[in-house]
Structure 1
Amino acid sequence: MFLFRRSSLGSNPRLRALRALYSNFIAQNPPEARARRLLREWLSPEQRVQFDAQGHFDVTGSHTGRRYRIRQGTMRNVLEIDEQGQAKMGWCFVPARALAAGDVMLAQKIALETDEMAVLSLANKFPPKLL
């Protein structure tokens, strides 16, 4: 059996330095920044170029082959688009709990690319003219 002695934070300079480093990292990397980085890692090279240039990216549905445009945001940010890139229908679906925009967009991308029909059966439709 091991016995550990609690040391005060003030007496260990290495622990203080580690805590300061961690605090600095968290301050410079808020949830939105981390979520955006994760999203970019999951995008294909073409999607990443599109996202960086235009603030949105297109995905192809897993069952129908329809194209969807995922725009920056967390709600009412998925549009079904036609061959000319014009919005046909809007779809609203989000994860059950509040997440950073990049995390929501990543969840929407994965959902449409892996189980399009299940997602659309839960999603709310809206006319794209209301945007």
Structure 2
Amino acid sequence: MLETTFQFLTATSRRWRVLRSFFRELFRSESEKRAIKLLCEWLSPEQLAQFEKHESFEVTGCQSGKRYRIRYGTAANIYELDQYGHPKSGWCLVPNEPLVPGDVMLAQKIALETDELSALAVAKSFRPVWH
């Protein structure tokens, strides 16, 4: 019984992810589609697999070696991870000009991987509420 319930929930979760991705892609603007394409070109194979599955990917800070998860979005979407991969703190790092999520995420990736401490110096911290 428990195994059947687990299989049902797993299949339902998979279907929900597929439907969500389908509708999100359907309503994305052309500029957002171009931004996602560019972001994907900059991701490592591991990051790309993470992004395609979860709409987030992990980066390693160039100076501290800390791991961060960048989730799809434009603000309050960076999570510093503990040794188990759980969010322990959040960072809001946004550009001065409005950009689509793919461009913001690419800027955040580059900032954390090339000048982590300067990026965090201008970011606002927040307490993560998701797991």
Name the CA distance, whole Å, in 1 between partners of 2:92 and 2:127: 11
Name the CA distance, whole Å, in 1 between partners of 2:88 and 2:38: 29
The structure-2 alpha-carbon separation of the partners of 1:45 and 1:55, relative to structure 1 and needing over 3 Å to count, comes to same
Using structure 2 for the length normalisation, give the TM-score: 0.76
1:48-127 map, 5 Å: 48-127=48-127
1:18-57 map, 5 Å: 30-57=30-57
Name the CA distance, whole Å, in 1 between partners of 2:99 and 2:128: 24
- One-letter code aligned to 2:81: I
Gaps of 5+ in 1: 1-27
Name the CA distance, whole Å, in 2 between partners of 1:67 and 1:130: 17
Tell me, what secondary structure is at the counterpart of 2:115? helix
Name the CA distance, whole Å, in 2 between partners of 1:53 and 1:101: 17
Query: Once the 2 structures are TM-superposed, how far is the Cα of residue 83 of structure 1 from its aligned partner?
Result: 1.4
Tell me, what secondary structure is at the counterpart of 2:96? coil
Name the CA distance, whole Å, in 2 between partners of 1:129 and 1:36: 26
Identity %: 54
Tell me, what secondary structure is at the counterpart of 1:129? coil
Tell me the alpha carbon deviations over residues 57-84 of structure 1, each in whole angstroms, 9 at most, x when there is no partner.
Answer: 0000010000000000000000000111
Tell me the alpha carbon deviations over residues 4-63 of structure 1, each in whole angstroms, 9 at most, x when there is no partner.
Answer: xxxxxxxxxxxxxxxxxxxxxxxx971000000000000000000010011100000010
Query: Once the 2 structures are TM-superposed, how far is the Cα of residue 130 of structure 1 from its aligned partner?
Result: 7.3
Query: Once the 2 structures are TM-superposed, how far is the Cα of residue 129 of structure 1 from its aligned partner?
Result: 2.2
Greater Cα radius of gyration, structure 1 or 2: 1
- One-letter code aligned to 2:69: R
Name the CA distance, whole Å, in 2 between partners of 1:109 and 1:93: 11
- Give the CA RMSD over aligned residues: 1.7
Tell me the alpha carbon deviations over residues 63-107 of structure 1, each in whole angstroms, 9 at most, x when there is no partner.
Answer: 000000000000000000011110010000111100110000000
Gaps of 5+ in 2: 1-27
Name the CA distance, whole Å, in 2 between partners of 1:39 and 1:57: 11
Aligned length: 104
